[in-house]
Structure 1
Amino acid sequence: MRIFRYKEDSRLYLGAITESGEAYRLDAPDLMTLVHAARAAGLSTAAYVTALAGGLAPIEAPAEALNLATPLDAPEVWAAGVTYQRSREARNYEATEGRLDADTFYDKVYEAERPELFMKSTAARTVGPGEPVCLRSDSSWQVPEAELGLVLDRAGAIVGYTAGNDMSCRDIEGENPLYLPQAKIWKRSCSIGPYVRLAETVDDPYALAIACRIYRDGVKVVDETANTGQLKRKLEELVAFLKRDNELFDGTVLLTGTCLVPPNQFTLASGDRIEIEIEGIGTLTNTAIGTHELESAQAPLRV
C-alpha cells in the first residue's frame, strides 16, 4: 500500500493506493496522523487505511495523473554516505582526481562501525515529483543520487519507504571533505516521492530494484540500475546511529545512500529530466534547472 498527496483546487489532499491498484482520497491531514490513529486503534497502518477506504469510492483518475506533491512534509531529511561499494569508488575518484592507488578516508568510512550521516534538507528546501531541482551555480560537476528513503517516526521506527534524489556536487566534495555541506545542501537540492510505501507491506527492503535514468533533449544519456541488496549496512543500523543522542521528529526521512553514480565524465545540465524508480514505490521525476533560471521564473512582474 502506498500513501501520496496531491493538489486540487488549491488544496492538498492525502490519498492511498491499495494493493488492488485503486486510489482513494483519505479524510486525514497527513501520513503521520494516519500512523498514530492506526496505532491507537491497535491496527497496522495498512489495515487502518484499508478500513477507511472500504466505505469510499475510488478516485476516478489514476494517481499518476494527479498533481502529486511530496508525500509528506519531512521536517528534516538526513542522508547516509558511502554505504555502497559504488559510492565508495566514486568518492575515492573525486578525492584523488582519478588516482585510485591509495586508501582514503572514504575507505575508512566504508569499513568503520560508525556510518557517515549528515543533514541533507528541510521541508522548505525539499521538492516533490514534477518540480524542478536546482543546479548549484558554483559547481561544474553535479549529479543526482538515487536513494531509498526511510520515513521515520519520532522513536526511529521505519513507517514507510520512499524514493529520494540527493543532488550532489562532486567537484566541491572532492576538493575538500569539509565542503560536504556545500556539496550537498542548497535550495531544491533534494526531492522525495512520489509515494510512501508502508513498511509492513514490503516483504524485503533489501530486494528492491533501483534505477536512475537521465534524459537530455529527449535522449536517454544515463541508464543505471542496482539493488538495495548491495547495501553494506542494515537499515536499522543507520537509524540507530541517527537517533543516538539526537532528537527525531515524526516524518523525518533518512536517505540510505546510493549505488547509482553516473559516469565520471557526466554532469547535469539545465533541462535534464531525472527519473528515479524504486520497485514497489514508484518513479520520482524532476527536471534540473539553474538557480538563476529559477530566480528569473519566480521574480515578480514589474508594472
Structure 2
Amino acid sequence: MTLFPSSGTLLGRVWNPDISGPVVVTLRGGHLWDITSANAPLVRDICEMDDPVGYVASAPGLDLGPAETIAANATDTGHLHLLAPCDLQAVKACGVTFAGSMVERVIEEQAAGDPDKAQNIRARIGARIGDSLTNITPGSPEAETVKSALIEEGLWSQYLEVGIGPDAEVFSKAQTLSAVGSGALVGLHPMSTWNNPEPEIVLTVSSTGRIVGATLGNDVNLRDVEGRSALLLSKAKDNNASASIGPMIRLFDDGFTLDTVRAAELTLTVTGTDGFSLKGHSSMSQISRDPQDLTRQTLGRHHQYPDGFMLYLGTLFAPTQDRDTVGGGFTHKLGDHVEISSPELGTLSNTVQLSTTCPEWAFGVSHLMRNLAARGLL
C-alpha cells in the first residue's frame, strides 16, 4: 500500500503534541515539512491564494520526519500524526450522483431500511431502473421522459428526483474541523445494523468557487437509518468520526487537473477481523453530474462559503456482496479495516468502530483560534 501519491504538490495537516495544535504540511522527498507561517497559518489560507502550488513549493519549512512514520501514528495522540487535510472549510457532500448507486438508494427506500427485504426488491426493480438511467443527463428532456415513465410504473422516488432531476443533492456531511484523517478510527452510530463505506473523491474549493485540488474521502453511511426516512439524513451521515478525508490534498497544476479527477478510478478494500474481504471500485467517468456543476450548485449567490468547502462527489460503489447470510448484503463489523486508493491521490486508510467509542471531537474553531493566537500566528 502506498499512502501518498508519487508526484504532485501535496497539502495537509499534522497534529503536533509539542504545541497542542495542528500545523500545515507538505510532502518533500518522502518527509512531511511544517510550512505553517503567519502569512498562511491555515490550509484555508493557502487555498485562497492565487497560486497555491507556487506558494507550497517555495515555502520555507521544518522537516518533521518520514511521512510514512508520521502516518503510522494516527491513533497515538502523543506523537505527530496526520489530521484531515482541511481546517476551516465546510464539509459538504453530494448524494445520488451515479446511476448504479442511485438504484441502491431506491432499494433502501423501498426496503424501509430492512436489509432482509433488499434482495427481493433489487431483483424486481434494480436492473430495470439502472438500465434506463445509465446514459441520462440529469435535468435533460430525456430525463423528464424517464421520470414520467417511472411515475406511471409506481417506481418514482426522492432518490431518482435528485439523481436525474435538475437539482443535485448537496448536504452537510460534517462540522468544520470534525473530519478525521487517514489512519484514524471511523465511527458508526450504535443504532445502525446496516451500513457501509463510500469511497469518494473530495474536491477542495475556495470561497470564490475555484476548485484548487482534490483528495479522497469515506462518507460513512448508515443504510438502515437513511432508508427509514430521508429526513433522517443528518442522523445517518453526521456522527462522531463519520467523515474521513485524506491523506492530503493534491493541488491542481499542469499535471493534475479537474479532467484527471473526471477520469479517476478508485479502489476499495474492506478487510474484517472475521476473515471477510470485500473489493469495490468507483469510476469517476460514470458520474452523472459533472464535478464543476456540483460545485456550482453548492456555492453561488444563493449560498456563500467565506472559508471555502470540501465537497464529497458521491460514489458508484454499491455494497451488495453478501457477508453473513445469502441475500443479506454487506454491513460493517467493528474492526473492519477500510482502504480507499487511487494512483493520483494515494490511500485513505481507516478502522471501523462505534462513534461512541471513537475519540471524541474536542478541538473546535474556538480552540484552533486560541492555539494560533498563543503561537503568534494571528
Per the TM superposition, whether the score is higher than 0.5 is yes
The 3 A distance-change label for structure 1 pair 116 and 10 is same
Aligned-partner Cα distance in 1 for 2:27–2:106: 41
- Is 1:268 paired with 2:343? no
Residues 17-36 of structure 1 aligned to structure 2 (within 5 Å): 17=27, 23-28=32-37, 29-36=41-48
Question: AA paired with 1:288?
Answer: V
The 3 A distance-change label for structure 1 pair 251 and 21 is farther
Counterpart of 2:252? 199
Q: CA deviation at 1:25?
A: 2.9
Aligned-partner Cα distance in 2 for 1:50–1:78: 28
Q: With structure 2 as the length reference, what TM-score do the two structures score?
A: 0.70
Q: CA deviation at 1:255?
A: 0.6
What's the secondary structure of 2:262's corresponding residue? coil
Question: AA paired with 2:207?
Answer: R
Which structure features the higher share of strand residues?
1
The 3 A distance-change label for structure 1 pair 174 and 60 is closer
1:248 to 305, 322, 335: 305
Aligned-partner Cα distance in 1 for 2:192–2:47: 40
The 3 A distance-change label for structure 1 pair 221 and 130 is same
Aligned-partner Cα distance in 2 for 1:160–1:295: 28
Counterpart of 2:352? 288
Alignment size in residue pairs: 288
The 3 A distance-change label for structure 1 pair 207 and 213 is same
Say if 1:125 and 1:186, in contact at 8 Å, map to a contact too.
no
Counterpart of 2:240? 187
Q: CA deviation at 1:74?
A: 4.2
Aligned-partner Cα distance in 1 for 2:57–2:355: 42
Q: CA deviation at 1:249?
A: 3.1
Aligned-partner Cα distance in 1 for 2:335–2:196: 13
Counterpart of 2:11? 3
Aligned-partner Cα distance in 1 for 2:15–2:177: 17
Aligned-partner Cα distance in 1 for 2:338–2:250: 21
Residues 141-152 of structure 1 aligned to structure 2 (within 5 Å): 141-152=194-205
Aligned-partner Cα distance in 2 for 1:185–1:293: 16
Counterpart of 1:13? 23
Counterpart of 1:47? 54
Say if 1:148 and 1:278, in contact at 8 Å, map to a contact too.
no
Q: CA deviation at 1:178?
A: 1.9
Question: AA paired with 1:212?
Answer: L
Q: CA deviation at 1:24?
A: 3.2
- Structure 2 residue runs of 5 or longer lacking an equivalent are 1-8, 71-80, 112-117, 126-154, 322-328, 363-378
What's the secondary structure of 2:303's corresponding residue? coil
Question: AA paired with 2:280?
Answer: E
What's the secondary structure of 1:123's corresponding residue? coil
RMSD: 2.4
Q: CA deviation at 1:117?
A: 0.9
Counterpart of 2:103? 89
Identical amino acids, percent of aligned pairs: 27
Question: AA paired with 2:214?
Answer: Y
Aligned-partner Cα distance in 2 for 1:251–1:22: 27
Say if 2:35 and 2:62, in contact at 8 Å, map to a contact too.
no
Q: With structure 1 as the length reference, what TM-score do the two structures score?
A: 0.86
Aligned-partner Cα distance in 1 for 2:305–2:342: 25
The 3 A distance-change label for structure 1 pair 168 and 15 is same
Say if 1:216 and 1:271, in contact at 8 Å, map to a contact too.
yes
Question: AA paired with 1:263?
Answer: T
Aligned-partner Cα distance in 2 for 1:129–1:164: 9
Q: CA deviation at 1:143?
A: 0.8
Aligned-partner Cα distance in 2 for 1:223–1:282: 17
- Is 1:224 paired with 2:274? no
Q: CA deviation at 1:125?
A: 2.9
CA deviation string 1:42-68 (max 9, x = no partner): xx2212222225xx686542x222121
Counterpart of 1:301? none
